[in-house]
Structure 1
Amino acid sequence: MSREQHIARTFVELADTLVEDFDVIGFLQQMTVRCQELLDVTDAAVFLSHTGPRLYSPAPCDPSPALERVLEFACGEGPAVDAHRTARAVDAYGRGDARPGEADSRWPQFTVHLRQAGYSLATALPMRLRQETIGSLLLLRSADRPLDADDLALAQTLTDAATIGLLHARTIRQQDTVNEQLHTALQSRIIIEQAKGLLAARRNISLNQAFEIMRRHARQHRLLLSGVARDIIDTGSTLRSSAVLPRANTADTE
């Protein structure tokens, strides 16, 4: 397979997130593997935003202890955090740095572990789509030279494609949740209307009075209104322990 074919296949993989059994961890690990295959890097890791200032990183497949330490500190400081915060590419040098003091002063713990792990360069790219940044991609190199412009552009394009795929998957899941909630609300509404009619007929009261009795009973006993309604339908309960409101000026519809 040529490199061009490999790149094309990778973009297809990154777009394939709208499946029912989508596994985000497997998706991100596959992305890091493709980065190692297609780019002149030693290791790669994805970081996603989390509540608070820290990022979190789904671990790459079989990370070495040294890499695990780098990723642990990269969640709190370093180029991955800054790329996520600024939505721009950020570099850090472990050795051969023309400005060694800058990285050491900005990210003291991260750069120490970067050197100890044998990496010379860490480049982080933001995972962004328009105004939303959801994380960053960290690329680690053992060679002294930085990534060339073509590899850097390809890395950012792969990162953008992965971000779009993740946001699409999140949107679909949110939409499914909303649809499920709407369906549940509709079913509950139907049950409540049925119970209201049954209770009104059994107690010879208006629909509004029946609904108020159901509502008060639910509050007094800390029950869901839909549960009270289902009990009326299933057991024939008339909620006799609940008071009936005066009939004056009460319409027959809710």
Structure 2
Amino acid sequence: MTREERLLAAVIDAVDTLVDDFDLIDFLHMLCDRCLELLDVSAVGVMIEDPGGRLQLIAASDEHTRLLELFALQHDEGPCVECHRSGAARLNIDLTSPVETSPFPVFAARARKAGFVVSHALPMRLREAVIGALNLFDTRPQNLSPADARVAQALADVATIAILQHRTLAHANQQRAQMHAALTSRILIEQAKGVLAERWNTGVDDAFDALRRHARSHQLGLTQLCRQLVDGQLDSEAIARP
């Protein structure tokens, strides 16, 4: 398989995330694998921000890289952290250079101890939204070629679009589920109001007030109470009449 075919396969994998059983961790581990296949680097890590905007390590190509990335998060420094903050790529960072690593000396020392001498960080962003960073490491003192840099950013962009699209679908599904639950609750409440109104020979407003008072005094959800009444699990005589 040519490099172009493997890159196309990576894009197809990303598009395939638009399904209900999307597994974020598995997808990002696959992204690490694709980077190792397509790019001339030694290791890969992926960080994604959580709902609070804090970076979290989600995937890494090996244990040494995973521990290094966790170290970066614990000390809040490193190319990946800076890349996420600025939204700008940081390429060809010489981890043996005191000048280039002056913003993150502790991280650089830990990276060298892990055997890495060069690092790259690319933003996972779509327009103004930066959701994480793709981090590349090399044990060899060589720069990332311009072609590899473009491929790496393309992979990061495709992954970002897939993740954001899935979040949109998940949010839409959640809203639909909430609406369905609300409609179901509304039907149960109307049924319960009708049951009480008929049994008490009273208006539905009085029946509804009685249901609400009973639910509050017994620390029950209104929908739960109405379901019990409609299903016959609760005798209407247990509810105080208005």
What is the TM-score of this pair, normalised by structure 2? 0.92
Query: 1:27 — aligned with what?
Result: 27
Letter matched to residue 227 of structure 2:
R
Q: Is the contact between residue 60 and residue 66 of structure 2 (CA under 8 Å) also seen in structure 1?
A: no
What SS class does the counterpart of residue 226 from structure 2 fall into? helix
What SS class does the counterpart of residue 144 from structure 2 fall into? coil
Listed one character per residue, the Cα deviations across residues 42-90 of structure 1 (whole Å, up to 9, x for unaligned) are 11110011366752212435x24x4333222222311111111111112
Aligned-residue RMSD, C-alpha: 1.8
Q: Is the contact between residue 211 and residue 239 of structure 2 (CA under 8 Å) also seen in structure 1?
A: no
What SS class does the counterpart of residue 139 from structure 1 fall into? strand
Structure 1 residues 11 and 198: CA distance shift in structure 2, 3 A: same
Query: 2:37 — aligned with what?
Result: 37
Q: Number of residues paired by the alignment?
A: 238
Listed one character per residue, the Cα deviations across residues 119-170 of structure 1 (whole Å, up to 9, x for unaligned) are 1211111111122111100011122222121111111111000000011111
Displacement after TM superposition at 1:242 (Å): 2.1
Query: 2:60 — aligned with what?
Result: 60
What SS class does the counterpart of residue 58 from structure 1 fall into? strand
1:189 to 2:190 alignment = no
Query: 1:47 — aligned with what?
Result: 47
Identity %: 39
Q: Is the contact between residue 73 and residue 109 of structure 1 (CA under 8 Å) also seen in structure 2?
A: no
Displacement after TM superposition at 1:243 (Å): 4.3
Listed one character per residue, the Cα deviations across residues 171-220 of structure 1 (whole Å, up to 9, x for unaligned) are 11121111111111101100110110110111111111110110111011
Displacement after TM superposition at 1:20 (Å): 2.5
Structure 1 residues 241 and 24: CA distance shift in structure 2, 3 A: closer
1:224 to 2:221 alignment = yes
Residue segments in structure 1 that go unaligned for 5+ positions in a row: 245-254
Query: 1:140 — aligned with what?
Result: 137
Displacement after TM superposition at 1:101 (Å): 2.9
Computing the radius of gyration over CA atoms, which structure comes out larger, 1 or 2? 1
Match of 2:125 among 128, 144, 154: 128
Displacement after TM superposition at 1:224 (Å): 0.9
